[in-house]
Amino acid sequence: MAQVSLSSVQLIDRNGCFNVAGLDHFVRATELANHGVSYTVVAVMGPQSSGKSTLLNHLFGTKFIEMDASEGRSQTTQGIWIEKCAGIMPFTIAMDLEGTDGSERGEDDTAFEKQSALFALAIADVVLINMWCHDIGREHAANKPLLKTVFQVMMRLFGPRKTTLLFVIRDKTKTSLEKLDPILRRDIEKIWDAVPKPEAHKSTPLSEFFNVEVIALSSYEEKEEQFKEQVAELRERFFHSISPGGLAGDRRGVVPASGFSLSAKRIWKDIKENKDLDLPAHKVMVATVRCEEIANEKLHSLFANEVLFTFISLAGITGLIRTLFVSQYLVDLLQGWLALEADIQVHPVPEFRKRLDAVLDTCLSEYDRETIYFDDDVRTVKRQYLQSKALEEAYKRVPNWPAPTPAPAPPLAPARASIWSNLPAAVSVAVSVAGFVVNYLS
């Protein structure tokens, strides 16, 4: 497995091995998880040695490995690499794919090509399709098999994601883009029409699945200055790309950034196992796993940090120094809970439940904040789980307290009201989500 560098990370190697440690490192180093749904992924695909990595590097200030022209035209990028784009808002991840139809894999080995195309389509909001200008309108153009692959694999994603396919015509000639654009679109439509489709999509137009955009660039080798100017213009289009009207403005089914790692890992696993990718169900799975993880982190921070916090308090570590050890949220939470726990050890506290609810409110608000972009039904069910677990743990710590009676309806905040009033529905969602997870993992 490749080394983890500070810049680009080989996410998947040429044998299809997923670099879990590398991705975790990337997510931590770039603080991706803090970006909610304000992030985007841009992938590039196209024939080998067609200047894909060069384009990404100029467009995004990335440092993907480029071919050394003096060494000949051999395969440079192997597998799939990712890197954070420099200076672009929102947070944008560039994904550099191994070139297609390289002699290194041999003519018949298209498995990785298909798998990486499916992965890119499942993950990326914008896919750059790199192609040579002289291929436009040609019957045996290098990109045709690739496009066929892209369209075929899209059918396996269970529903349109409205990915933007941005065709990047390289080494443009004197023929203007106005002339090239319709010819290319006609070719694309022809390929789309010829692709076998499942019954449900027999007459679905290409535009239902993709936004198609076309641009043309001068040759980097022959007209470097013009190339750089045109790339600088294109770069502008990646700012605010997720806003309405932006390059990725129509995207659907975004996985919140804190679920990106898990999502990418699972998608690749399914692709390798040749399973169909049901992206809507996949999104629910990611929400289920992440919301439960976040709920457990909250429980852990409340009850498993007691000892650490008591030590810090006893050691007389206060104020600024203490906040270096634990976050302000945790300080508030633990101070509230530990004071209550200490009081209850010495005398009955008539306001116990009220004070406990105040502590739990802090805990639940943090949970709400961290899960805000995940599926509503799932986060509601996991909130309920967090609340009942926290109550159970809290009551266990009260001396001689009988088992807690079912919680009376607490003062209802809007989110909580929906839990209690929708409890039967929530339970049924819980059961179906649990069933899904079991099925998914088995």
Ligand X SMILES: Nc1nc2c(ncn2[C@@H]2O[C@H](COP(=O)(O)OP(=O)(O)OP(=O)(O)O)[C@@H](O)[C@H]2O)c(=O)[nH]1
CB of 54 to ligand X, least distance (A): 3
The C-alpha angle 212, 216, 218, rounded to 5 degrees, equals 160
Q: Where are the beta strands (DSSP E) in 229-306?
A: none
Q: Considering the rule CB under 6 A, would residue 371 count as an interface residue with ligand X?
A: no
Distances (CA, A) of 169 to 127, 219, 270, 338, 370: 14, 10, 32, 64, 42
**Segment interacting with ligand X, rule: CB under 6 A, options 111-119, 213-221, 267-275, 386-394:** 213-221
Whether the Cβ atoms of residue 143 and residue 151 lie closer than 8 Å to each other:
no
Q: By CB under 6 A, tell whether 49 contacts ligand X.
A: yes
Residue 388 to residue 398: CA distance in whole angstroms: 16
d(CA 133, CA 44): 17
**By C-alpha distance, which of 344, 342, 345, 338 is closest to 309?**
338
Under the binding rule (CB under 6 A), the answer on residue 54 touching ligand X is yes
* Cβ pair 131, 141 in contact under 8 A: yes
Query: What's the min distance (Å) between Cβ of 12 and Mg ion?
Result: 14
Mark residues 91-130: x for contact with ligand X by CB under 6 A, - for none.
--------x-------------------------------
Tell the smallest beta-carbon distance from residue 128 to ligand X (Å).
11
Per-residue contact track with ligand X, 165 to 194, x per CB under 6 A?
-----xx-----------------------
d(CA 42, CA 97) in angstroms, rounded, equals 11
Q: For residue 96, what are the CA distances in angstroms to 64, 156, 383? A: 8, 22, 38
Please answer whether residues 410 and 357 qualify as being in contact, where contact means their C-beta atoms are separated by less than 8 angstroms.
Answer: yes
Amino acid 421 reads S
Indicate the residue among 8 and 371 with the shorter CB distance to Mg ion: 8
The binder of 50, among ligand X, Mg ion, none, by C-beta within 5 to 8 A per type, is ligand X
Closest CB to ligand X among residues 40, 48 = 48
User: In angstroms, rounded to a whole number, what is the distance separating the alpha carbons of residues 413 and 198?
Assistant: 46
221 binds, among Mg ion, ligand X, none (CB under 5 to 8 A by kind): ligand X
Q: Does residue number 69 form part of the binding site for ligand X (CB under 6 A)?
A: yes
DSSP annotation of 219: -
What is the rounded distance in angstroms from the CA atom of residue 43 to the CA atom of residue 56? 9
Query: Residue 221, interface with ligand X (CB under 6 A)?
Result: yes
# of chain residues touching ligand X (CB under 6 A) = 20
Whichever of 24 and 101 has its CB closer to ligand X, that residue is 101
Nearer Cβ to ligand X (173/432): 173
Using the rule CB under 6 A, is 77 a contact of ligand X? yes
Secondary structure letter of residue 93 according to DSSP: E
Q: Which is nearer to ligand X, 144 or 355 (CB)?
A: 144
Q: Does 258 bind ligand X (CB under 6 A)?
A: no
Q: How far apart are CA 5 and CA 64, in angstroms?
A: 11
Answer with the entry of ligand X, Mg ion, none that 309 interacts with (C-beta below 5 to 8 A by kind): none
Q: Which does 48 bind (CB under 5 to 8 A by kind): Mg ion, ligand X, none?
A: ligand X
Answer with the entry of ligand X, Mg ion, none that 219 interacts with (C-beta below 5 to 8 A by kind): ligand X
Beta bridge partners of 165: 127, 212
Cβ closest to ligand X, residue 91 vs residue 112 = 112
The minimum distance between CB 251 and ligand X, in angstroms, equals 25
Phi then psi dihedrals of residue 128, to 5 deg: -85, 125
Minimum CB–partner distance for residue 129 and ligand X (Å): 12
| Count of alpha carbons within 13 angstroms of residue 382, beta-carbon side | 29
**Binding partner of 171, given Mg ion, ligand X, none, CB within 5-8 angstroms per partner class:** ligand X
Name the helix (H) or strand (E) containing 80. strand 80-84
Closest by Cα among 1, 2, 32, 4 to 264: 32
Is the preceding omega at residue 205 within 30 degrees of 0, hence cis?
no
| Residue placing its CB nearer to ligand X in the complex, 76 or 149 | 76
Binding status of residue 156 toward ligand X by CB under 6 A: no
Closest CA to 113 of 16, 205, 254, 243: 16
Query: Which of 220, 303 has the CB closer to ligand X?
Result: 220
Contact partner at residue 370 from Mg ion, ligand X, none, CB < 5 to 8 Å by partner kind: none
**Contact set with Mg ion (CB under 5 A):** 52-53, 76-77
What is the binding site for ligand X (CB under 6 A)? 48-54, 66-67, 69, 75-77, 99, 170-171, 219-221, 227
